[in-house]
Amino acid sequence: MKASSTRSVLVTGASSGIGAATADLLARSGFRVAGTSRDPDRAAQRLPHIEWVSMDVRDDASVSEGVKRAIDRIGGLDALVCNAGIGIFGSVEEVPLHAAREQFETNWFGTLRTLRAALPELRRARDARVAIVGSLAGRAPIPFQAHYSASKAALDALAQALHNELFGTGVSVSLIEPGDIHTAFNDATDFELVRNSSYGERAARCREVIERSLESAPGPEIVARTILRALTTRNPRVRYAVGPDARLVSFARRWLPERVGLRLIRRHFRV
């Protein structure tokens, strides 16, 4: 990529968690950083050294205007980090369809909107980078988080297809695949969407495992460092598994029979 004094990057969902850690690290590493938030004034109080733009990834016009405003403020676009996302908890049977649609509207369509708005500028750069933040759940789906897992699996497919579409154009695409990460995102996950679930103790045990695992998980800085590497290394990987659990699952998915993998997931989440 270009010299640090001229690199510019847009990070979506940058007001907290992985997005905030990434925006902060990139700014301290010499990037000109624009971060998106639905409340940019509040975000600016936490990270005043970031150029903040108001953007809602669920809205076409908001994304189009937000990307244009970011490009104007940071003087172009050499890199994009698609990070904005939400999570919901509940069974396939019981989660309302409107909530399932909202999951995809933010996680998948929000990423798609951002890419469509940013790619023309990225393709004009001679050496541009795209980092799409997926999840370990996209390759090892979590019981009672099927909707979240499916949205991240869709990002996996999107990243791989986009990598090939852009191959040879000067734009490199990497999927960032974190395992358990302790962030405010965990607190924002809607665990109360389905009250009095008919799945009773099965769902309760699974939720308990998720919450306990997240409490002891590493912070978002580990993901931010991986994103920095993907944006700056000479030959970025197509996929970066982040954290010991993500690397373990990547190994297991490669070598274990699928039935064995599913049994290990059931055992881990106590379902």
Active site residue ranges: 148
Structure tokens at 140: 């090892």
Residues 6+ apart with CB under 8 A from 179: 136, 217, 241, 242, 243, 244, 245, 246, 247, 249
The conformational region for residue 23 under phi > 0 = left, psi -120 to 50 = alpha, else beta, is alpha
Per the structure block, which two tokens stand in for 48?
């005043």
3-class DSSP string for 176-241: EEECCCCCHHHHHCECCCCCCCCCHHHHHHHHHHHHHHHHCCCCCHHHHHHHHHHHHCCCCCCEEE
Helix (H) or strand (E) holding 22: helix 17-28
